[in-house]
A = this chain, B = another copy of it.
Amino acid sequence: MENCLDFEKLMEMEGRYRANLINKITGYKTANLIGTRSGSGLENLAVFNSVVHIGANPPYLGFILRPTSVERHTYENIQETGYYTINQITARIHGQAHMTSAKFQREISEFESCGLKPYYVKGFEAPFVADSAIKIGLSFEEEHRIKCNDTRLIIGKVIHLILPEGAVGADGDLDLESLDTVAIGGLDTYYKGTKLGRYAFARPGEDLRKLS
């Protein structure tokens, strides 16, 4: 049996209950830490579950920014410097990553408070997370103000990509399992992945072909 909830029933729910539910209905989400530095040099690090692929040629990524105080530091720093990093959360650091969601004051570095080491690339001013397996350096490209609830889509161009040696397969593939990558459910739950299968490009009238 299934339950069907309409808009009125969803809006009658208690706020925290609805937030837990609606944040989980999209399924497993990307799990990343966004690193920035203010114009005056203050480091910031925050967990995001909304990083999304925008394009590969050239490479662009996006993320959704809500109007909360934690995420506002990230936004202000990107506005001030034009640069930021996206760092894949691994199982080993997922506890520290979740801690960055606490409302630290702006002069406090989440790197230090949460036990994560910053890592810098010469000539690029935003801090990466040293212990992240996939580190991405971006330059701000464009933003869109979402009218319905005053959130923003922020888009950046990938100008640095740091990966463990040997991580990239012959056809550009990455093995997310062996990189110890995690997914996020809702706002609070972290998951490891187990591969069901990788499949060839699908074509009408042909059977699905499993690659690995």
Q: Name the one of B7, B86, B144 contacting A153, with C-beta atoms under 8 angstroms.
A: B144
Is B176's CB under 8 angstroms from A21's CB?
Answer: no
Bound Cα distance from A176 to B182, whole angstroms:
14
B28, A28: Cβ atoms closer than 8 Å: yes
Q: How far is the CA of A89 from the CA of B146 in the complex (A)?
A: 27
**Does A192 make an interface contact (CB < 8 A)?**
yes
Given the complex of chains A and B, what is the CA–CA distance between A203 and B144 in angstroms? 30
Docked-complex contact B200 and A195, CB < 8 angstroms: no
Q: Which residues of B contact A98 (CB under 8 A)?
A: 199, 202, 208
**Most chain B CB neighbours (cut-off 10 Å) among A5, A101, A105:** A5
Could you tell me the distance between the alpha carbons of A47 and B158 in the complex, rounded to whole angstroms?
25
> Which B residues lie within 8 Å of A186 (CB)?
173-174
For chain A residues 59-89, which have a beta carbon within 8 Å of chain B?
Answer: 59-62, 64, 66, 86, 88-89
A158 touches B88 (CB 8 A): no
Which B residues are in CB contact (< 8 Å) with A16? 171-172
- Chain B proximity of A208: nearest CB distance (Å): 5
CB <8 Å contact, A168 and B21: yes
Give complex CA distance A179, B57 in Å: 35
A: residues with CB less than 8 A from B are 1-7, 10-11, 13, 15-32, 49-62, 64, 66, 86, 88-89, 91, 94-95, 98-105, 108, 113, 121, 134, 136, 141-142, 144, 146-149, 151, 153, 155, 157-165, 167-169, 171-174, 176-177, 181-183, 185-186, 188-204, 206, 208, 211
6 contacts between A and B (CB under 8 A): A11-B58, A29-B53, A30-B30, A62-B146, A185-B198, A192-B196
